[in-house]
Amino acid sequence: MPKVFLKTYGCQMNERDSEQVARDLVSRGYELTQSEAEADVVLLNTCSVRDMAEQKAIGKMGMLSRLRSGKPEMVFGFLGCMAQSRGAELVRDMGHVDLVVGTQKFHKVADYVEDLVHRRRRMRDSLMDDARFSIVDIAEEAGSQESIREHILKERQATAFVSIMQGCNMRCTFCIVPSTRGAERSRRISEIVAEVKGLAQNGVREVTLLGQIVNLYGRHEFDKVAGKSPFVQLIEAVHEVEGIERIRFTSPHPIGFRPDLVECFGRLPKLMPHVHLPLQSGSDRLLKQMHRGYTAAKYLKLVEDIRTARPDIAVTTDVIVGFPGETEEDYAQTRALVAQVGFDNAFIFRYSPRKDTPAATMEEQVSEEVKESRNKDLLAIIDDLAKEKSAELVGKLVQVLCEGPSKTNPDTLSGRTPGNKIVVFEGGPRHIGEIFDVKITRSTGFTLYGDPAVL
């Protein structure tokens, strides 16, 4: 039975895409392995949001090339966003790469892998020279948004990602995603709900709806109903699925938060009190340069509206430091706004020029030293905010959905609060997949520790 090593870089969308690829391969008799050396097929699902993500994947693939000397029939492939962006140059520049598949062709990966595996085995068995043959497919495909719908579920799996759309039309000047993921394309509500029902029947208690700009779901394909956007219609439909107790979504855009969506947080109990709300900058000048479509004041008003609808909501964000032309004053405005909002957590990114994006050719590119300084400074602020927010929960009972063993200590269990904070606690297998109260005993800032109230 051929073995496949599949490694994923980047966001939850990439994780979900990899799960579909894995499921397709397993259904054809392939076995997943965590060992590159054991593998007959090595696939890296890549990210292009930042240069470092691309370099990690390229570096990993370069290191893996040594495996072919002992197993010449091995197949090596790049999938996903970097594959879409770079295409055939990956085959040209890395002599051992056989397969490059873009973001709209994940459902074709199993076919291509089988073709390559059979070709290489025929060459091995016939003692043919290792003639170069490769497959590159980065073409667009209508309906590809419907192809990510199958899951590989572990025993007692409590949570699952559900892809509801692909692509992005926003054209932020720093972002390569519209090029790598294509235009917005949404799945039908009925198809998504059917997938969620299947997950619930297999024991999943929480689903996270995924999209590049998830809260703009269906705006081009579907009509409003009774003043409700397609995304709100979808959330309401998923809310009715028996067995699903928690609903989350990521990653939204501030301009997609219309009043009907804000109102959902106070009306729908299964919609968890956590929102990831990318800020990117607190400077109106830079927000305009980024083509973000809002001002700092509008962002603050949105946070206020969401917190009014759900006072206990946790708010997290993304921030870019060192965007071209960012002055000390611009950064100071970002710093002040981050402190004013009081985020529960944030991902801070140093600006990274991306191919064929307007920001890459803007004047006044900021030095790496300045980016690093601002990155460290803002991280320190976020660390303090996270510690403060988490400390407020010490001594309190919080509801936790137990997801399984802790990643850092398999002898303990972990789960998440409604506000998406990680809790680590003692327990047994019977806790996995269950929702129950945990008393928080201490906090490290980003991780909470507690004791289950019911053993």
Q: Against a cut of 0.85, is the pTM above it?
A: yes
CATH class for the domain made up of 397-452: mainly beta
pLDDT at 131 over 80: no
User: Rounded to whole angstroms, how far apart are CA atoms 134 and 111?
Assistant: 13
Given this model, what pLDDT does residue 132 score?
67
Q: What is the pLDDT of residues 233-281, one digit of tens each?
A: 999 999 999 999 999 999 999 999 999 999 999 999 999 999 999 999 9
User: What does each C-alpha distance from 431 to 204, 401, 416, 425 come to in angstroms?
Assistant: 14, 9, 13, 10
Query: Which superfamily is assigned to 3-137 in CATH?
Result: Methylthiotransferase, N-terminal domain (3.40.50.12160)
Higher pLDDT, 347 or 130: 347
State whether residue 240 is helix, strand or coil: coil
Q: What are phi and psi of 64, to 5 degrees?
A: -75, -15
Given this model, what pLDDT does residue 138 score?
97
Q: What's the fold here for domain 305-391?
A: Transcription Regulator spoIIAA (3.30.750)
Tell me the angle at which helices 328-341 and 368-391 cross, rounded to the nearest 10 degrees.
10
What is the residue extent of each domain of the chain?
Answer: 3-137, 153-272, 305-391, 397-452
pLDDT at 127 over 80: no
User: What does each C-alpha distance from 215 to 40, 129, 396 come to in angstroms?
Assistant: 40, 52, 32
Given this model, what pLDDT does residue 371 score?
98
pLDDT at 118 over 70: yes
Cα-based angle 87, 99, 171 (whole degrees, multiple of 5): 30
Q: What is the pLDDT of residues 59-82, one digit of tens each?
A: 999 999 999 888 888 999 999 999
Same fold, 3-137 and 305-391: no
Tokens 């800032």 map to which residue? 445
pLDDT band at 123 (very low <50, low <70, confident <90, very high): confident
Give the CATH number of domain 153-272. 3.30.750.210
Cis peptide before 390, with omega less than 30 degrees from 0?
A: no
Given this model, what pLDDT does residue 129 score?
53
User: Rounded to whole angstroms, how far apart are CA atoms 199 and 197?
Assistant: 5
Q: Over the range 62-71, which residues count as b (16 or more CB within 10 Å of their CB) and which as e?
A: eebeebbeee
pLDDT band at 125 (very low <50, low <70, confident <90, very high): low
